[in-house]
Structure 1
């Protein structure tokens, strides 16, 4: 789950606090509009920024290990922090240019960092697993103290529950008919979502171009990178993280859904012409979850030719979880804007995650710098359908695309879009051999029709065919997954292990 960003000091708020906070957010919105018209925003490109959310699994049972406090204390590393569940940690990757051999350097840095995290987890009988949803996660976990220490996590849980007015009903059915339909009186299942977030710094003028392009690319990312096929022992969507996160942040009543009120995890409804469109929609359409006002007078700061932090607007913006989110921030007193792309799951390996990033940044560069913009040839409704189809079917999804119609995603990517991504990475300055290395990982998934989700399903089904229960099959599959992930070989090269029949089971043909 994406971190909330700013800390808060308490989790309960009065009506007066809510009214005051709303006024301050509206003031920040006005100030932001003035800044867009007249301020100089920092812009350094190309920059590649990442956040990676991770799971802790018990070394023996491979069930969630509620030990992030101990592991982070052992780690003592500013690059890692807590996330909402006690079995989650997050790794923040310092921004770097996408040029030369930086993608290789990133892979090396990530691998070293994950090894450090693994070393810190080991004394606490845990291991670090990069996967979209931990396959061994069970619903009864949330009957225990699952929430990470920290006021902001309690505040988020309490605020989402208060806005909903009742508990959350989770209802997801997979393409094979397996289904999770269950009621929760906390946001606990939300902690099951672990993702990779990719950041791109842009100018105010270019922001809508980049946001529109990222929105088009999102379905391709999910189709090729899906890695979340199981939840609570059921096989659901290839990227179950998408509907899980959407439903567990959805504070709307049934009536409000029918009235067309927007969900807080939001793909969008139309192309944009300004970053202001998104911030204004966030303010006008979504009630504040964490109405803790700052002491900043942003209007006075701007009048004095200073750079406002816009703390109240940022705090509110951090609780609207767009799949491509607008970010305003400051660094050393200079404001900047970013597109935060949030559609990818964590894992399966470091090389896979860096390949996913290269594919995204390459397409983003090509789609924003050459020819007629791709989104002007596509209806937003088609792009939205592409996204949902990719989440449901993953590597088997089809996509509607200008000039080729509706085709399998793997053929669209391998035959048409990998050269486009390569051109974009070349324009960014990434060396040819580096481009070839990482884009070949994407091509390998296309040619073998294998990504994290499809491998998880194939191996789990093989264990079940050998006579193991679904619960035991998932545990064994995750153990195999963790070993291969640590080896850092691309997921499309992973085999389905040879499996002996379970004790007392006669199987004549084990897949």
Structure 2
């Protein structure tokens, strides 16, 4: 959800003071990377899943306050839209049988939340973009009651000084304007956290950037938006355009958007926080009373809240995270590439692939990013998002290669090796990476199933809206079955 804020608008003086405070925080952070002990023993992982609420008509249900009250679990929180909630999973290691135990915990928690939501008349759907969402749903009171969201909405439009333009060309074409950031709420994702040491951060972040394209081809699950079939993972382009603070003229000048893949390999986590200060104006310029220099001089870890808050409004697909828990600072790579769903077991298969492959790619003697341009990694990201199961990538040692061949021949064995280094038992590795293997063999992911199912229903004579609603019903059944999406049948 992000850090809380108190205000929704800010003065010029507040913005100037905030900029100065962020720079002070950055200076202190640079010193900490050299002098301070960061919390890092065994590698730790964390997980967040964003979810949608639908009503009995399978349309978005603007009821998250009521549903969260019924769930009564602090692990479930609000998200931007009133039809969104977020599920946060406590950090843990992955060794032994812990991933299998995590699957059972996730299913139990989500089943409990679903049962409580059903009592209120809502159903929970885990999907990248809710296919029954329409622009008219934003004509109601759609935004969650949280000052942070109102402040972000105000900040984006204060910077743009004009309506947002959505222009996404895929299988079909969507072009529309919006006078709020409401379309951003359509983007629901899975966020994978990896706690690392300062010395290892750059290698892990670079490896995660390399993996982003294959992740999308493997896990795409967002082919429809506002009734149009667009990209396999439309969520990535929607998020970029729905939060864009730039006017057309600024885009033409090459000004960077808040949703940012990046532009170079890094040598330190400091590179990314420094880019934040250099390139991105503050959206939520709210200052605290903390004196970071004094806290550091006292031998303690400062919160660096201004730096953290600013970082929270730069939406990198692999975001650097600085946090302090129980007085100890730590660093994380937050992987934001994947959409939510389709099932718990699919989410964990995607996570197993990511954690295992990153572990090996980050520790190779000659890392892949020394043999591959950053532009090639960005092109792979775009290809994975646009084409999903039809994506072709550039990869050192392969040249142009289809996503399934790349994963089967190169990345899947690396993922298995990486999980073995984590101490994950072989039967657990086989379970989750076997799902990855079978998705590659069948060339099927969530986006493929959604698109093929809607096409089949339209051939039966259903309208697009009716086909999307019927598809969502079938999707819900598959989601609750916890059978991997590549095994789901397409209506004949």
Q: Which TM bucket (shorter chain)?
A: over 0.9
- In structure 1, the partner of 2:251 is 257
Q: Measure how far apart 1:415 and its partner are.
A: 2.3
**Quick one: distance in 1 between partners of 2:48 and 2:137?**
26
- In structure 1, the partner of 2:106 is 110
**Quick one: distance in 2 between partners of 1:434 and 1:96?**
16
TM-score by length of 2: 0.99
Q: Does 1:20 align with 2:17?
A: yes
- In structure 1, the partner of 2:406 is 412
- In structure 1, the partner of 2:132 is 136
**Quick one: distance in 2 between partners of 1:10 and 1:371?**
49
Q: Does 1:276 align with 2:273?
A: no
8 Å contact kept, 1:44–1:201:
no
1:68-91 C-alpha deviation (Å, 9 max, x unpaired): 000000000011000000000000
**Quick one: distance in 2 between partners of 1:93 and 1:44?**
20
**Quick one: distance in 2 between partners of 1:367 and 1:94?**
26
Report the secondary structure of 1:93's partner residue: strand
Q: Which of 149, 164, 167 is matched with 1:168 structurally?
A: 164
- In structure 2, the partner of 1:496 is 490
- In structure 1, the partner of 2:348 is 354
- In structure 1, the partner of 2:417 is 423
Matches within 5 A, 1:79-158: 79-158=75-154
- In structure 1, the partner of 2:436 is 442
- In structure 2, the partner of 1:480 is 474
TM-score by length of 1: 0.95
Q: Does 1:64 align with 2:72?
A: no
Q: Measure how far apart 1:431 and its partner are.
A: 0.4
**Quick one: distance in 2 between partners of 1:323 and 1:419?**
24
**Quick one: distance in 1 between partners of 2:12 and 2:305?**
20
**Quick one: distance in 1 between partners of 2:297 and 2:90?**
33
Q: Which of 384, 392, 402 is matched with 2:386 structurally?
A: 392
- In structure 2, the partner of 1:296 is 290
Q: Measure how far apart 1:291 and its partner are.
A: 0.8
**Quick one: distance in 2 between partners of 1:103 and 1:239?**
26
**Quick one: distance in 1 between partners of 2:30 and 2:43?**
25
* More divergent stretch after superposition (463-472 vs 284-293): 284-293
**Quick one: distance in 2 between partners of 1:295 and 1:460?**
54
**Quick one: distance in 1 between partners of 2:364 and 2:150?**
46
1:219-266 C-alpha deviation (Å, 9 max, x unpaired): 111110000000000000000000000011111122221222111000
1:27-80 C-alpha deviation (Å, 9 max, x unpaired): 10111111111111111332121111000011x211101110000000000110
Q: Measure how far apart 1:119 and its partner are.
A: 0.7
- In structure 2, the partner of 1:507 is none
- In structure 2, the partner of 1:502 is none
Report the secondary structure of 1:85's partner residue: coil
Q: Measure how far apart 1:187 and its partner are.
A: 0.2
**Quick one: distance in 1 between partners of 2:12 and 2:72?**
40
1:104-162 C-alpha deviation (Å, 9 max, x unpaired): 01111110111011111102221100000000010111111100011111111111111
**Quick one: distance in 2 between partners of 1:40 and 1:258?**
43
Provide runs of 4+ in structure 1 moved above 6 Å: none
**Quick one: distance in 1 between partners of 2:427 and 2:351?**
16
8 Å contact kept, 2:151–2:284:
yes
**Quick one: distance in 2 between partners of 1:457 and 1:276?**
42
Report the secondary structure of 1:343's partner residue: coil
- In structure 1, the partner of 2:197 is 203
Report the secondary structure of 2:30's partner residue: helix
Report the secondary structure of 1:206's partner residue: helix
Q: Which of 31, 35, 43 is matched with 1:34 structurally?
A: 31
Report the secondary structure of 1:183's partner residue: strand
Unpaired segments of 5 or more residues in structure 2? none
Q: Which of 160, 181, 191 is matched with 1:187 structurally?
A: 181
Report the secondary structure of 1:238's partner residue: coil
**Quick one: distance in 1 between partners of 2:44 and 2:27?**
29
- In structure 1, the partner of 2:51 is 54
- In structure 1, the partner of 2:321 is 327
RMSD between superposed Cα atoms in Å: 0.8
8 Å contact kept, 1:413–1:446:
yes
**Quick one: distance in 2 between partners of 1:464 and 1:488?**
26
**Alignment coverage as a number of residue pairs:** 492
1:243-297 C-alpha deviation (Å, 9 max, x unpaired): 0000111111222212221110000101001111100100111111111111111
8 Å contact kept, 2:43–2:196:
no
Q: Which of 352, 364, 373 is matched with 1:370 structurally?
A: 364
Report the secondary structure of 1:227's partner residue: coil
* More divergent stretch after superposition (225-234 vs 282-291): 282-291
